Amino acid sequence: MSNHKITVQSPANIAFIKYWGRYDHQLFLPRNNSISMTMSGCMTTTTAELDSKLTEDLIEVKFFDQPYQKLIRRTEEIKQENIFAQIDRIRKIAGSNVKVHIKSENNFPADAGIASSASSFSALTAALLLVFGLHDKFEDKIEFSKQVRMCGSGSAIRSVMGGFVEMLSGKTHDDSYAVQIADQNHWQLTDIVAIVNPEKKKISSSQGHLAAQTSPYLETRIQEMQPRIKQCREAILQKDFSKLGQCIEQDSISMHIVMMTQNPPAFYWGPGSISIIKEVMRWREEDGLEAYCTLDAGPNVHVICQSQDTTEVKKRLEASPFVKWTIVNQPCAGTTIIDQHLF
Ligand code: PMV
């Protein structure tokens, strides 16, 4: 078994078609297919090394501008539990009992609707598979995406490949995985994240997924989104920005209706988010500046535009009193092995 140090880098991704709710909470099977673009400006870097001298796994994480913190195994936080469960699961597949040292850092705020779990969990899973010598499961991207799903973050599945990726919901472990629609060089779209509030959200997406089925609108959403999934796929392949933009905005609003009508209700957007959504709609109608908004489980607004409009859209977003700063992203590669180790 390989015990050298391994480092990977993995991007966040922005969902054009969102997943919300699950079929199965043990296998983390998403309730619907989703489609996303990888984000070049929002990365997690993770280094892992097996260490036979350790009596416990040592996990150190650094979120954006905060100091490194050690994760504790018994904790109430679902995501931290999922991290340890993923370590134990992959170690068992590898037939090992050696402890692992992991160091991981994000270059963007976590838990604020910028898909930090997507980049962190895909990076964690890649680092674990590689350090435990399961290279085949990393190289086969379908298998890798299934392994990522088992850590509990559905969006993370879409970070394993570059560019534009669809996550197939599936009904069993074997038919729920990611497929690439087009790679990162296909279409230079921009996602400008307007940060209105970088703080951690109150209702985690894990808690949110559990309550999704209490919304009377979940099944309506699943029905009405089916043609949109097909249109979104087509719009990406045809590079039809107006068609894509309509899919993006409609799907975000549709998901937030489910979120707001579930029990307990999850209102992820705030006054700043609404102000930006209205502004972006006004730019389209009055100035012919084509940009579209989408929000995940947080108040920060992802504004999608074509590359020639990036400077203008960024300038306008930064002029809003609600916007603290912006992060500009283009499609990029999925999870990649790199040489620069964190320890
Ligand atoms: O990746 P999760 O399981 O934490 O869920 C995130 C879901 C959304 O970001 C709200 C939508 C999506 O498809 O990314």
Q: Tens digit of pLDDT for each residue in 159-206?
A: 999 999 999 999 999 999 999 999 999 999 999 999 998 777 788 888
Backbone torsions φ then ψ of 283, nearest 5 degrees: -60, -40
> What atom in ligand 1 is closest to the CA of residue 297?
10
Q: Is the Cα dihedral 226, 122, 56, 92 positive or negative?
A: positive
Q: Is 5 left (phi over 0), alpha (psi -120 to 50) or beta?
A: beta
Pairwise CA distance, residues 231 & 225, whole Å:
10
pLDDT digits (tens, 9 = 90+) for 36-48: 999 999 999 999 9
Helix or strand run (H / E) with residue 118: helix 116-131
Helix or strand run (H / E) with residue 145: helix 141-149
297 lines ligand 1 (CB under 6 A): yes
> What atom in ligand 1 is closest to the CA of residue 115?
9
154 lines ligand 1 (CB under 6 A): yes
pLDDT beyond 90 at 63: no
Pairwise CA distance, residues 56 & 15, whole Å:
36
Distance (angstroms) between ligand 1 centre and the Cα of 291 equals 22
Residue 337: C-alpha distances to residues 8, 9, 341 (Å): 4, 6, 10
Distance (angstroms) between ligand 1 centre and the Cα of 18 equals 7
In the chain, at which residue ranges do the beta strands (DSSP E only) sit? 6-17, 22-24, 29-30, 34-50, 58-63, 69-70, 100-106, 164-167, 178-182, 189-195, 291-294, 301-306, 325-329, 336-338
pLDDT digits (tens, 9 = 90+) for 150-169: 998 899 999 999 999 999 99
Which amino acid is located at 152 in the chain? G
Helix or strand run (H / E) with residue 248: helix 241-261
Pairwise CA distance, residues 34 & 15, whole Å:
7
For position 75, what pLDDT does the model report?
66
Distance (angstroms) between ligand 1 centre and the Cα of 116 equals 10
Mutation test residue for ligand 1: of 18, 116, 258, the one with most atoms within 8 Å of CB: 18
pLDDT digits (tens, 9 = 90+) for 2-51: 458 999 999 999 999 999 999 998 999 999 999 999 999 999 999 999 99
105 lines ligand 1 (CB under 6 A): no
